[in-house]
């Protein structure tokens, strides 16, 4: 079986478990007044799991296959060493570090760091532009989520928040 079908099989298994959780376990703990709402907290996970299952089945069954050799714009898994795997792996590691640092370091610091280091990994070398763009983006997103939407995001590290 080709690499894309193996990946589709893994994604299908994950989406089946995710879909099972979305359809059968997520709504059990809902309060009675929320059960009358037309949209539940599990609505988006249900839609996402169904769409992902359909897409992975299309790949697994080979409906997206084209005949002949891969086009130059397609990823050829036989030539993975020709691609910039270091950048991709570094960005994935940076995403994991961002997720782990979001609470202890605060939203502003961790988002600024993620954007700044991510742009460095991708090849940008204008440090002032990187710092300015990262600071503005982190500040604007924090303002919109915290102040406009009313969803609390701790902007500062845990040792600086709440007076101590």
Instruction: Determine if the pTM surpasses 0.85.
Output: no
* 12 and 44 part of one domain: yes
76 in any annotated domain: no
* 97 and 49 part of one domain: no
74 in any annotated domain: no
Mean pLDDT score of the chain = 85
The domain containing residue 53 runs over which residues?
A: 3-69
Closest to 111 (Cα-Cα) out of 103, 119, 102, 120: 102
110-148 pLDDT, tens digit per residue, is 999 999 999 999 999 999 999 999 999 999 999 998 888
pLDDT band at 164 (very low <50, low <70, confident <90, very high): very low
* 48 and 105 part of one domain: no
69-124 pLDDT, tens digit per residue, is 666 666 666 777 777 888 989 999 999 999 999 989 999 999 999 999 999 999 99
Distance CA 14, CA 8 (A): 10
pLDDT band at 14 (very low <50, low <70, confident <90, very high): very high
């Amino acid at each position: 079986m080709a690499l894309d079908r193996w990946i589709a099989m893994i994604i299908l298994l994950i989406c089946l478990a995710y879909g099972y959780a979305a359809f059968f376990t997520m709504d059990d703990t809902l309060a009675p007044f929320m059960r009358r709402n037309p949209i539940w907290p599990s609505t988006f996970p249900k839609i996402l799991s169904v769409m992902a299952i359909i897409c992975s089945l299309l790949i697994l069954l080979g409906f997206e296959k084209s005949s002949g050799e891969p086009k130059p714009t397609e990823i050829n898994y036989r030539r993975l060493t020709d691609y910039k795997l270091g950048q991709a792996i570094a960005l994935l590691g940076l995403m994991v570090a961002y997720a782990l640092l979001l609470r202890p370091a605060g939203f502003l610091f961790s988002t600024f760091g993620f954007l700044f280091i991510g742009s460095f990994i991708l090849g940008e070398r204008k440090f002032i532009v990187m710092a300015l763009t990262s600071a503005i983006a982190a500040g604007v997103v924090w303002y919109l989520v915290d102040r406009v939407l009313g969803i609390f995001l701790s902007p500062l590290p845990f040792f600086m928040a709440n007076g101590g």
